[in-house]
Every structure is written in structure tokens, then in C-alpha cells.
Amino acid sequence: MSCTEWLVFEGISAFILELTVQLILILRLYAMYSGTRHIQRILLVPFAVEVCVMATTLGVSIPRIMTTPDCIEASLPIEMAVYCITAIAYECLLLYLTVSRYFYARRNGWGNIPLMTILIRDGVWGFALVFGNAVLSLLEMATS
């Protein structure tokens, strides 16, 4: 596999993995909000925008990634910052919706139910992992 093919594979794999994690979090949030149409729009419209922005920036960035002779990424194009910031923004929305629903559930006597605790825990972990990955990528871009 050539260096370019590897970079394409790596970029697309990371993109698919990130979207898969977000889809799982979206489905959990949709269930937490009892499947209302309002929350469906709040979740899916920004998700569609995020997918479009991230796919576009990934498509523009991959051909411009500079590598060393050993196929190590030496520098990333600035468009990758847009990719990371988009992921951070959407994850913040998901975290806000998760935490606000948890507090709503606690006020209404549902806070001690183990399922609600699992949903909030997994939502926070999902946020932390995607957020941490995006921040590390931004730091890598800033230092290269």
C-alpha cells in the first residue's frame, strides 16, 4: 500500500469511526428524550451539517498532507482544524443535551434508575474521547 493510499485509508477509517460513535450517542439521546420530533431535528440537522463539513474538509485535506519519506505525517493542512472544530462543536451539543436530560430526569425522580446513570456515563465518555482526540489533533497541527 502506498503512502497516499494509507493516508486515505486512515482518514476515512477515522471519519467512519467518529460518525459511528456519534450515531450511537444520537440514538441514546433520542431514546432519553422519548423519541420526540423536536429532539430528532435538533440532533439530525447539525449532524448532517457536521458530516458534510467533515467529509469536505477531509477530501480537501488528504491530498495536501505533507509526509516524510517514511510516510510519517509531517504537517497537516489548516482545513483539518475545521474538521476538528466541527467535531468539538457537535460533541458539545450532544454533551449539553445528555447532561440537561439527566438533570431533568433527576428532578422528576428518574435520576436513580441504573439505565439513566449508564446513559449519562457513556455520553460523557463518548464526549471525552471524541473531544480529546479533536483537541490532540489541533495541538498536533499547531506544533507542526
Q: Which residue type sits at 84?
A: C
Per-residue pLDDT of the chain (144 residues; tens, 9 = 90+): 788 788 889 889 989 998 998 999 999 999 999 889 999 999 999 999 999 999 999 999 888 877 777 877 767 788 888 988 999 999 999 999 999 998 998 888 876 788 888 888 888 888 888 888 888 888 877 776
- C-alpha 76/C-alpha 84 separation (Å) is 12
Q: Bridge partners of 66? A: 75
Q: Which three cell numbers stand for residue 107?
A: 428532578
- C-alpha 113/C-alpha 109 separation (Å) is 9
pTM given for the model? 0.85
Q: Count other Cβ atoms within 10 Å, centred on residue 51.
A: 15
